[in-house]
Amino acid sequence: MNTIKNAQVAIVTGASRGIGAAVAQRLAKDGFAVAVNYASSSTEADALVAELTAAGTKAIAVKADVANADDVRRMFEITEQQLGKVDVLVNNAGVLKTLPLADTSDALYDQTFGINVRGTFNTLREAAARMNNGGRIVNFSSTTLALNMPGYAIYNGTKAAVEAFTHVFAKELRGRDITVNAVAPGPIATSLFLDGKTEEQIQTFAKMPPLQRLGQPDDIASVVSFLAGPDAGWVNGQVLRANGGVA
């Protein structure tokens, strides 16, 4: 928790809905000024910013496609101008479409790697030049990487890359006192997970963890809050698998 409210600044990518929105709400409660990034859901992003602002948080909505390096540069510039230099970067934006590898189009491959991998690369590269020393970076992997389920080859490939970036980048930031970690959620009840699944498929996933339920966005927001906060200062270069015990 910041002692002075909004003294520190967080960017949360893909924060218009789902896990990212819960993370933005939680970091606002923790005292951060928050930049709510989105690609197309401007109504949801604006509504979230209005909610955070009404609760006394400095918050802005920033439209930027994380897959586009110029957009990401602009996102950092706008955040710096309106909120201040960035202390926390949460690389939450991501997409998932499950399909057997053999049926995956070039376009779907490019889109998934573009957002999940290049998007993370773009923000990390910008963060290296612009973040305050002492900051925190939280990337997003997925527990699907440990499950090797059919249909997840491309998505898991992107998350494997994100985990690799996390381990190496933590070392490349030596001397800056910036930690770089990743959270790897199990199934969380958001549109990314729910869309296109039958009720039966959803229930199968819900029964997988020994805790016998789907995760909720707040389950992950709590983990991000920990990794972004003072108590996680000695956790660096790690992947935290928050999944109710699935794997």
190 is a site residue for ligand NAP (CB under 6 A):
yes
Please identify which residue in the block is written with the tokens 């999940």: 116
18 is a site residue for ligand NAP (CB under 6 A):
yes
Among 16, 79, 123, 156, binds ligand NAP (CB under 6 A): 16
Among 8, 13, 225, 236, binds ligand NAP (CB under 6 A): 13
165 is a site residue for ligand NAP (CB under 6 A):
no
Catalytic annotation, pick one of 38, 109, 152, 155: 155
Structure tokens at 108: 């779907």
Among 1, 7, 40, 207, binds ligand NAP (CB under 6 A): 40
135 is a site residue for ligand NAP (CB under 6 A):
no
State the angle between helix axes of 18-29 and 42-54 in degrees (0 to 180), rounded to the nearest 10: 20
- The identity of residue 16, as a single letter, is S
* Ranges assigned E (strand) in the chain: 9-12, 33-38, 59-63, 88-91, 136-140, 179-183, 239-240
152 is catalytic: no
* DSSP assignment of 179-195: EEEEE----BSSHHHHT
Burial 119-134 (b: 16+ CB within 10 A, else e): bbbbbbebbeebbbee
Q: Cβ of residue 106: shortest distance to ligand NAP, in angstroms?
A: 18
Number of residues that bind ligand NAP (CB under 6 A): 32
19 is a site residue for ligand NAP (CB under 6 A):
yes
Annotate each residue in 49-88 with x if it binds ligand NAP (CB under 6 A) or - if it does not, as one string.
Answer: ----------------xxx---------------------
Which are the contacts of 69, defined by CB distance < 8 A and separation ≥ 6?
122, 125
Interatomic CA distance for residues 59 and 49, integer angstroms? 6
Q: Which residues bind ligand NAP (CB under 6 A)?
A: 13-20, 37-41, 65-67, 92-96, 115, 119, 140, 142, 185, 187-188, 190-193
Q: Where in the sequence numbering do the catalytic residues fall?
A: 155
